Structure 1
């Protein structure tokens, strides 16, 4: 899972960031949102600076007492809250990976003026460091600061306790201005654009345990071409190996 997360992180930190003006002001505004959220809800808010690959973490009283976080910290080594992710259920992190991959690709196709109108939310389980007791949190992601070509400069992730009695809630994408939830069919249409038809054929055969030589014979292509498709599939799904690619593709219902 760590490798999958690293691949997804590179999708955000390796964007072209040209053409974004007033970046210092945008960062200050996003940090103010995060600090205000943590103070108002006693939860946690994280500003991910994708361009500079660093993050700002704000914690209210719940974040400080339950998650053992300082009131404010900055990590100059990563744009992502690894100290929080390390306390998360691994299977739910995979679901979050799928949701953010879907969210990024959904946002990518929107006009620039509409991109900041949407957010993605899911439920994550965290383990208290001292007691190993599970606590459910509502995790929400929004993006701020877009260039003319659609690159995003900042992410804002928030966490608040979510006292539910059931074990799972599917992630959703919704319009923060209207409250309307995006129908699954809409972003699943974006899912199907991530891989080409040939890549889907190759990945489907990989999922069935078919070797590269057999795939080449079945599709009447060379083994070299099969291997190239394998690498392109890993890059498109932001994973490190074909086993992870199959798992992500199955969860996204594209194979």
Structure 2
């Protein structure tokens, strides 16, 4: 249910500094996040896109996830799957669409301005009583590489300190934290060019239940080309199968 393969593909194409240059900046970021969760009392995930690692920092909110709040841990992934498993599947799907839109939005912004933007949404998540409770999720990029590529990403989880209200979906937005300007995300305009016209043709036929051989015949291309388009679609939309690809593309208004 995750649209994240496209993000992984795009992350790998970012300009990333060499290991020596990254180490000092990463050490500084780790110290910054330690202090951040101490003050914010949240759970924060610092993801290193260059090394495919994440550092999970646990403030008092860690009790919500039944996590040890004594320090931080390192995982060999930029995705915090243990937390994702607690999020309502529909909200996780929408949250990942928001992150995909955010990444593509930032590519339209000058590198110096990218770190001023963040996402904010409200997601239903299982608490320690195994009951869904709406919490606050934020994300932003802490550092660019020296070449201007997006490098250190941060996700923050915390209690939703707002009065109860009727919320449709996750109420996702992109916010300029410098000016306070909010962009409500509902059209995913920055994702409009994720798929080529041919990939869209292939995906429409997949959605109709057409098998690869018949797609090849209808589009007058080889079955190997069809399979290559299938793989590209899964990677770009960050999904694991064709059903999820059709659902994600439809949600992004790509078809």
User: How much is the aligned-residue C-alpha RMSD, in angstroms?
Assistant: 2.8
DSSP-derived class of the 1:231 partner? helix
Q: Report if the CA contact (8 A) 2:47-2:53 is conserved.
A: yes
TM-score, scaled relative to structure 2:
0.84
DSSP-derived class of the 1:178 partner? coil
Query: Residue 181 of structure 2 corresponds to which residue in structure 1?
Result: 180
Shifted more, 106-115 versus 34-43: the winner is 34-43
Deviation at 1:33, TM superposition (A): 3.9
DSSP-derived class of the 1:194 partner? coil
Summarize the alignment of residues 50-199 of structure 1 with structure 2, pairs less than 5 Å apart: 50-63=49-62, 65-71=63-69, 72-129=71-128, 131-147=129-145, 149-162=147-160, 163=162, 164-167=164-167, 168-182=169-183, 184=185, 188-199=188-199
Q: For residues 150-169 of structure 1, what are the alpha-carbon distances to aligned partners after superposition, in whole Å with 9 as ceiling and x for unaligned?
A: 43221111112115343533
Which fold has the larger relative contact order, with Cα–Cα distance below 8 Å and residues 6 or more apart in sequence?
2
Deviation at 1:148, TM superposition (A): 5.3
Relative distance call for 1:223 and 1:132 in structure 2 (3 A) is same
Separation in 2 of the partners of 1:216 and 1:26? 49
Deviation at 1:31, TM superposition (A): 2.9
Separation in 1 of the partners of 2:97 and 2:185? 13
Q: Does 1:210 align with 2:221?
A: no
DSSP-derived class of the 1:79 partner? coil
Relative distance call for 1:184 and 1:157 in structure 2 (3 A) is closer
TM-score, scaled relative to structure 1:
0.84
Q: For residues 3-48 of structure 1, what are the alpha-carbon distances to aligned partners after superposition, in whole Å with 9 as ceiling and x for unaligned?
A: x557745653675523698534432443344333322332212211
Unaligned runs of 5+ in 1: none
Q: Report if the CA contact (8 A) 2:54-2:79 is conserved.
A: yes
DSSP-derived class of the 2:36 partner? helix
Q: Report if the CA contact (8 A) 1:13-1:53 is conserved.
A: no
Separation in 2 of the partners of 1:200 and 1:40? 47
DSSP-derived class of the 1:179 partner? coil
Unaligned runs of 5+ in 2: none
Number of residue pairs the alignment of both structures matches: 251
Relative distance call for 1:194 and 1:148 in structure 2 (3 A) is farther
Relative distance call for 1:165 and 1:231 in structure 2 (3 A) is same
